[in-house]
Amino acid sequence: MIRSRAQQIARGLCQIMGRELLKGNNKTIIRPPTQTRQTPQHPWSSSSSVRTISMLHWPFTQPRDFSLPNTSWDSDMRQLYEHYNSMCEVDTEDGGKKWGPWRRLPSYNRSLKYATGGVYLSKIIHSKARLFTRSIKEQGAAFEYVMFVNKEEQKCVCVFQAGHLLEGPPGMVHGGAIATMIDTVIGTHATYLSGPVMTANLNINYCSPIPLGSTVLLTSSLDKEEGRKTFLSSQVTSTDGTKLHTEATGLFVSVTMGHLVGA
Amino acid sequence: MIRSRAQQIARGLCQIMGRELLKGNNKTIIRPPTQTRQTPQHPWSSSSSVRTISMLHWPFTQPRDFSLPNTSWDSDMRQLYEHYNSMCEVDTEDGGKKWGPWRRLPSYNRSLKYATGGVYLSKIIHSKARLFTRSIKEQGAAFEYVMFVNKEEQKCVCVFQAGHLLEGPPGMVHGGAIATMIDTVIGTHATYLSGPVMTANLNINYCSPIPLGSTVLLTSSLDKEEGRKTFLSSQVTSTDGTKLHTEATGLFVSVTMGHLVGA
């Protein structure tokens, strides 16, 4: 009964909200119907290298994009953010702008709230649920991170600053928090490449501990795709890439959206 | 300078605090100098099966033991807690009490604060740091869990209730949160068996997702010990053991306390 009512509400909301779908590799990635705040969206419909994206009006409160700079970010994090963000749009010969090789991926504290389709929103009954990595409101206290993806090179990078609530060994980041970031980064990358997926395996080697409060770089690269399976590998290094903290492989299995939300 | 001052303070505190060390397998496990609240400590010094533990007075605020029942625990969690807790002390023939085969492990939001030795407390300068799994104060919102260990069988179990802040796929627990609990349980078990350790490898197979809000059972068992290496395996199942959610292996490497705290 509650679910049925929630579905009715969800369907109604969907009619208002509309949807924005970014097509890639004949698969569909759901993006929230909102603009990023820092990177302005340009009407580059004339450029062949830029997808034409219709920006829809968000009728309610603008959801917070957690992957934008805030005052808790240290200088390493800001510099790496600027480095990759500057490659998200580049100058054209005629003085205009066009997409660069990288995309910044926005990040919210719930994905479902902004997804499309009435039945998918039925899980709105978990009204208090929050994405694990974005569930703590205090800036800088837990997971501060931003992801960038490069479609052509099939790579993804994440700049991650570990807050004081992620402690494992004294003064060091908890192995579970590192696993969480690895799952998040290669899982997001797998979703970008293959559509909705679920984690099937993570194999993680912890090489050297990460000091609490420091910023590190996570990279994800595609190893292979076999049917519904996507294999990726990941490394966690110091920001200059000279020190290896963790390395991992991940196997992700494609699922339908219905499977994902238990519809 | 700050560190040096912190060390002085730490040494001073240590002289007041005293220490309680529980010896096992010629290795040392640090326990906080406090009693659990629910299981009374009895003067069973006459029983050979029970370790004589000197209970020291805690001169400051009593630290909260997060592994005791609270109002957020569902009936499954309470029943399993009672089941294992009832095997922590058993009746003797003469009407007394003695330790049973299981021990409940208390759990705090920092381990270091209650450890021994001035230099170890130098990390107190990370005053805001909190153990990742115990960093959220709201009861029932994140990781609710209690661990029991059986020395004779070399096994450990953990009853885990996943709160609404641990979401990954819609309505399901994040793969990173599951990895965190596995690392916590087999890491604690490895520490119990081998003294201070660091995680070297986690290999996790995700078999079926865990619904947000549900209670599951984690088990850990020792596979083998080779020099400084301790190999364990773990399963995450439904509370009745019939449904396998996740299975994992872990490799832990023994370290010195000095290594652990970067002294």
Interface of B with A in 188-207 (CB under 8 A): 198-206
DSSP secondary structure letter of residue B120: G
pLDDT (average), residues A223-229: 97
Using the Cβ of B142 and the Cβ atoms of chain A, whether some distance falls under 8 Å is answered with yes
Using the Cβ of A109 and the Cβ atoms of chain B, whether some distance falls under 8 Å is answered with no
Percentage of residues of chain B with pLDDT beyond 90:
62
Does residue A19 or residue A187 have the better pLDDT? A187
Phi, psi of A161 (to 5 degrees): -115, 120
Stretch among B2-16, B213-227, B228-242 having the lowest mean pLDDT:
B2-16
Which pLDDT band, with edges at 50, 70 and 90, does A122 fall under? very low
Is residue B50 in some structural domain?
no
DSSP secondary structure letter of residue B62: P
CB contact under 8 A, B176 and A179: yes
Which pLDDT band, with edges at 50, 70 and 90, does B127 fall under? confident
For A87-116, letters b (16+ CB in 10 Å) and e give bbbeeeeeeeeebbbbbbbbbbbbbbbbbb
CB contact under 8 A, B165 and A135: yes
Using the Cβ of B21 and the Cβ atoms of chain A, whether some distance falls under 8 Å is answered with no
Does residue A110 or residue A122 have the better pLDDT? A110
pLDDT value of residue A125: 53
Nearest to B165 among A132, A167, A183 (CB): A132
**CA nearest B253 in A: which residue?**
A206
For B226-242, letters b (16+ CB in 10 Å) and e give eeebbbbebbbbbbeee
CB contact under 8 A, B201 and A203: yes
Q: How far apart are CA A63 and CA B2, in angstroms?
A: 41
> For residue B257, with 0-12 CB atoms within 10 Å meaning exposed, 13-18 middle and 19 or more buried, which class applies?
middle
Contact residues, chain A, for B257 at CB < 8 Å:
none
pLDDT value of residue B108: 87
pLDDT value of residue A95: 92
Q: How far apart are CA A143 and CA A139, in angstroms?
A: 9
Identify residue A236 by its one-letter amino acid code.
Answer: V
The total of other beta-carbon atoms located within 10 Å of residue B150's CB is 16
Number of domains in chain B: 1
The CATH number for B109's domain is 3.10.129.10
Contact residues, chain B, for A177 at CB < 8 Å:
132, 176, 180
DSSP E strands, A65-154: 89-91, 97-99, 102-105, 143-150
Is residue A99 in some structural domain?
yes
Tens of pLDDT, residue by residue over A16-61, are: 233 332 333 333 333 333 333 343 333 333 333 332 223 334 445 5
Domain that holds residue B123: 2-37+64-261
Rounded to 10 degrees, the C-alpha dihedral A162/A163/A164/A170 comes to 0
pLDDT value of residue B27: 39
Computed over every residue of chain B, the mean pLDDT equals 78
Q: In the predicted model, is pLDDT for residue B74 greater than 80?
A: yes
Stretch among A44-58, A140-154, A238-252, B155-169 having the lowest mean pLDDT:
A44-58
Stretch among A126-135, A205-214, B24-33 having the lowest mean pLDDT:
B24-33
Region of B59 on the Ramachandran plot (φ > 0 left; ψ -120 to 50 alpha; else beta): alpha
Q: How far apart are CA A31 and CA A53, in angstroms?
A: 11
User: What is the SS3 assignment for B254?
Assistant: strand
Is residue B43 in some structural domain?
no
pLDDT (average), residues A176-201: 96
Nearest to A130 among B120, B165, B179 (CB): B165
Is residue A18 in some structural domain?
no
Is residue A198 in some structural domain?
yes
CB contact under 8 A, A176 and B176: yes
Q: How far apart are CA A233 and CA A255, in angstroms?
A: 20
Contact residues, chain A, for B131 at CB < 8 Å:
167-168, 174
User: Per the structure block, which two tokens stand in for A177?
Assistant: 């928090």
Nearest to B212 among A129, A133, A170 (CB): A129
Q: In the predicted model, is pLDDT for residue A180 greater than 60?
A: yes
Q: How far apart are CA A79 and CA B255, in angstroms?
A: 35
Is residue A58 in some structural domain?
no
- Helices A175-194 and B175-194: crossing angle in degrees, nearest 10, is 150
Tens of pLDDT, residue by residue over A132-146, are: 999 999 999 999 999
CB contact under 8 A, A171 and B133: no
- By annotation, the residues of A acting in catalysis are 183
Mutation pick from B183, B184, B234, B259 vs chain A, by most beta carbons of A within 10 Å, is B183
pLDDT (average), residues B17-46: 35
pLDDT (average), residues B230-246: 98
For A225-234, letters b (16+ CB in 10 Å) and e give beeebbbbeb
Does residue A174 or residue A54 have the better pLDDT? A174
- The answer to whether residues B183 and A175 touch, using CB atoms and an 8 Å cutoff, is yes
pLDDT (average), residues A218-245: 97
Computed over every residue of chain A, the mean pLDDT equals 78
CB contact under 8 A, A200 and B206: yes
Nearest to B198 among A132, A205, A209 (CB): A209
DSSP E strands, A100-142: 102-105
**DSSP H or E segment with residue A17:** helix A2-17
CB contact under 8 A, A204 and B205: no
Q: In the predicted model, is pLDDT for residue B118 greater than 50?
A: no
Q: In the predicted model, is pLDDT for residue B99 greater than 70?
A: yes
Which pLDDT band, with edges at 50, 70 and 90, does B110 fall under? confident
pLDDT value of residue B112: 57
Is residue B173 in some structural domain?
yes
pLDDT value of residue B8: 38
What ipTM does this complex have? Answer: 0.78
Using the Cβ of B130 and the Cβ atoms of chain A, whether some distance falls under 8 Å is answered with yes
The total of other beta-carbon atoms located within 10 Å of residue B32's CB is 22
pLDDT (average), residues A59-71: 80
CB contact under 8 A, A212 and B129: yes
Identify residue B159 by its one-letter amino acid code.
Answer: V
For A24-57, letters b (16+ CB in 10 Å) and e give eeeeebbbbbbbbeeeeeeebeeeeeeeeeeeee
Is residue B54 in some structural domain?
no
